[in-house]
Amino acid sequence: MFRAKGGNPPLEYFPDMAGRGGWGYDGLELACWGDHFDVQRALGEPGYCQGRHDLLARHGLRVWAISNHLVGQAVCDVIDARHKSIVPARVWGDGSAEGVRQRAAREMMDTARAAKRLGVGVVNGFTGSSIWHLLYGFPPTPGEMIEAGYADFARRWGPILDVFAGESVRFALEVHPTEIAYDVQTARRALEAVGNHAAFGFNFDPSHLVWQGVDPAKFIDAFPDRIFHCHVKDAMRTLDGAAGILASHLAFGDARRGWDFRSPGRGEVKFEEIVRALNRAQYGGPLSVEWEDCGMDRRHGAAEAVGFVRRMDFPPPPGGTAFDAAFAKD
C-alpha cells in the first residue's frame, strides 16, 4: 500500500485530521502507474474517478495529490532502453527518442486534466533533464550547453504548465538528482527558465537533499510559496573512505554504498527543523510518507513512520504570536 522501491504510492498524514486508515494514515497519494490511477481511464470512463474515491473511502482514506513521476521523467530526458520499462506502451510507441518525449508531454497534459476530474489540485512528478549527464565538468562543458538544457526544459514544459494552469492544478517537481532541479541553485534556475510560472513548484523531499550535503530546511526557506507538497523520507550517508556519495554503481541496500534511504527518523534528516521551516512557509498540505528502507520490513516501516510523523509534527502559534507576547504592553 505504500511506496517501497517497487513504486507503490506514498501514504499521507494530514495534520488537521484524525488518522482513519488501518495504520492511522489519512490518505493515499495515487501513482499514475500500476493499478492505482490510470490517466486515460480517468478521462475516458464515466465513473472511474468516483470509483477511486469510493475504493479509498472503504478504507477510511482520501486523496490530495497524484504522482506521475515516470512519464514526467521522459519529457526532457536523453531517452534510452531504460525508459521503456517505466512509461506506458502508448508513450513508448516505436521508441524513437523525440517521439517518446512528445508523447510523454501530451500524457502530462492529460494528467493535469485527469487530476482536475479526480478533484485534486497537485500532481507530483519528475521533469527529466537533457543535461544531467553533464553534471561533472569534464570534458569541459561550455556554459552554453547548460543554458541550452534549461531552454529545452522551458520549451517542453511551458506548454504543459499552461495546461496545468488552465485546469487550476499545480505541478510539483520532486527536486531530485537526474532532474532539471536537484538543489537550491538549480531549483532557482528552473523557476527562472519557465518565467516563475504560477503552476510550477516543488514536491519537497528532504531525503534527496541531505545526502548531497544540502540543508533541507534552507530549501523550504528559499521557496516558501513554491512548496506544493511534502514527502517524508529519510536518508543516511555511510561514508567509510571506500565509497563516496556517487554510490559507486552499487544497488540500493548494498552495504558498500556511500548512502542509502532510511525509514523516517532513522537517518540524517533533521525533521524538527523541517517542521519549523514548513510552519514559517505556512504550508498547509499533507505530509506524505514515501517509505524506502531496504533493511526493514515495510509493514513495520508503515506503522512506525506514521507514528513518527504524528510525534514530530506540530502547528505554529496562532497568528505567529511569539511566546513572550503576553508580556507586551499596549
Tens digit of each residue's pLDDT, the chain (330 residues): 232 333 445 666 555 544 455 789 999 999 999 999 999 999 999 999 999 999 999 999 999 999 999 999 999 999 999 999 999 999 999 999 999 999 999 999 999 999 999 999 999 999 999 999 999 999 999 999 999 999 999 999 999 999 999 999 999 999 999 999 999 999 999 999 999 999 999 999 999 999 999 999 999 999 999 999 999 999 999 999 999 999 999 999 999 999 999 999 999 999 999 999 999 999 999 999 999 999 999 999 999 999 999 999 999 988 765 655 555 655
Cα 126 to Cα 144: distance, rounded to the nearest angstrom: 24
List strands edge to edge, sheet with 65-67.
27-28, 11-13, 287-289, 227-232, 200-204, 170-174, 122-125, 65-67, 30-31
Which phi and psi (to 5°) does residue 125 adopt?
Answer: 175, -175
- Cα 214–Cα 216–Cα 217 angle in degrees, nearest 5: 125
pLDDT tens track for 206-238: 999 999 999 999 999 999 999 999 999 999 999
CB atoms within 10 A of CB 208: 22
pLDDT of residue 7: 41
CA quadruple 200, 179, 4, 279: dihedral positive or negative? negative
pLDDT of residue 323: 54
pLDDT tens track for 123-176: 999 999 999 999 999 999 999 999 999 999 999 999 999 999 999 999 999 999
Residues near 322 by Cβ (< 8 Å), separated by ≥ 6? none
pLDDT of residue 13: 57
Query: In this structure, what is the dihedral angle of CA atoms 302, 308, 310, 312, given to the nearest 10 degrees?
Result: -150
**What are the grid coordinates assigned to 11, written together?**
501514504
CA distances from 303 to 19, 58, 60, 256 (A): 12, 20, 16, 28
Cα 227 to Cα 67: distance, rounded to the nearest angstrom: 15
Of how many residues is the chain composed? 330
Q: How many C-alpha atoms does 163 have within 13 Å on its Cβ side?
A: 17
> Measured over all CA atoms, what is the biggest interatomic distance in the chain, rounded to whole angstroms?
73
Cα 67 to Cα 29: distance, rounded to the nearest angstrom: 7
CB neighbour burial string for 264-302, b if at least 16 within 10 angstroms, e if fewer: bbbbebebebbbbbbbebebebbbbbbbbbbebebeebb
pLDDT of residue 172: 98
- Predicted model pTM: 0.92
- The one-letter code for the residue type at 141 is T
pLDDT of residue 23: 83
